[in-house]
């Protein structure tokens, strides 16, 4: 768990977050700068720098992010939602701890910008 990783700090409780779900493997919390009426992040507690760092042993964990995220989206009242994983700075990644964005509650344009 890198000391200087923002999301590891949220996991450790060193930085507050509006938590929606937590278990021993996964944490979900609201994005601090929401880009839609509902915008939250689902992250593994294991530090992985992004999608490119996912290995075979993480496959089940990454699937769990999607299941948990979908369940939270339903509870939040947004059965239609956009799922985003940014990988690398050119793709818009700013926090280098794997995270799944879920955005809902408004129309989503395609393709994304
Ligand atoms: P990325 O651009 O890396 O895909 O997404 C990082 C996300 O983390 C951004 O949507 C940003 O608003 C969010 N974020 C950055 N710092 C914090 C924080 O301290 N707390 C929360 N809840 N979200 C954050
Ligand atoms: Zn981390």
Q: Is the CB of 29 under 6 A from ligand 1?
A: yes
Q: Is the CB of 94 under 6 A from ligand 1?
A: yes
The predicted pLDDT at position 113 comes to 85
CA of 33, closest atom in ligand 1: 12
107 in catalytic set: no
The catalytic residue among 47, 80, 97, 99 is 99
Contact assessment for residue 69 and residue 100, using Cβ atoms and an 8 Å cutoff: yes
The string of pLDDT tens digits covering residues 81-112 is 999 999 999 999 999 999 999 999 999 999 99
Contact assessment for residue 57 and residue 113, using Cβ atoms and an 8 Å cutoff: no
Q: Is the CB of 7 under 6 A from ligand 1?
A: no
Q: Which of 59, 19, 16, 65 is nearest to 44 (CA)?
A: 65
CA of 35, closest atom in ligand 1: 10
Q: Is the peptide bond before 74 cis (omega within 30 degrees of 0)?
A: no
Q: Tell me which residue has tokens 């720098």.
A: 49
The string of pLDDT tens digits covering residues 27-78 is 999 999 999 999 999 999 999 999 999 999 999 999 999 999 999 999 999 9
pTM above 0.95, yes or no: yes
Taking every pair of Cα atoms in the chain, the longest distance, rounded to a whole number of angstroms, is 38
């Amino acid at each position: 768990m890198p000391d200087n990783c923002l999301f590891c700090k949220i996991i450790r409780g060193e930085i507050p977050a509006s938590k929606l779900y937590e278990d021993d493997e996964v944490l979900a919390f609201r994005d601090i700068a929401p880009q839609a009426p509902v915008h939250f992040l689902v992250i593994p507690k294991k530090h992985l720098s992004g999608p490119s760092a996912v290995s075979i042993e993480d496959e089940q964990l990454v699937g769990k992010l999607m299941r948990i995220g979908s369940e939270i989206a339903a509870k939040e009242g947004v059965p239609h939602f956009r799922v985003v994983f940014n990988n690398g700075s050119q793709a818009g990644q700013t926090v280098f701890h794997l995270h799944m964005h879920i955005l809902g509650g408004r129309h989503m344009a395609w393709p994304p910008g």
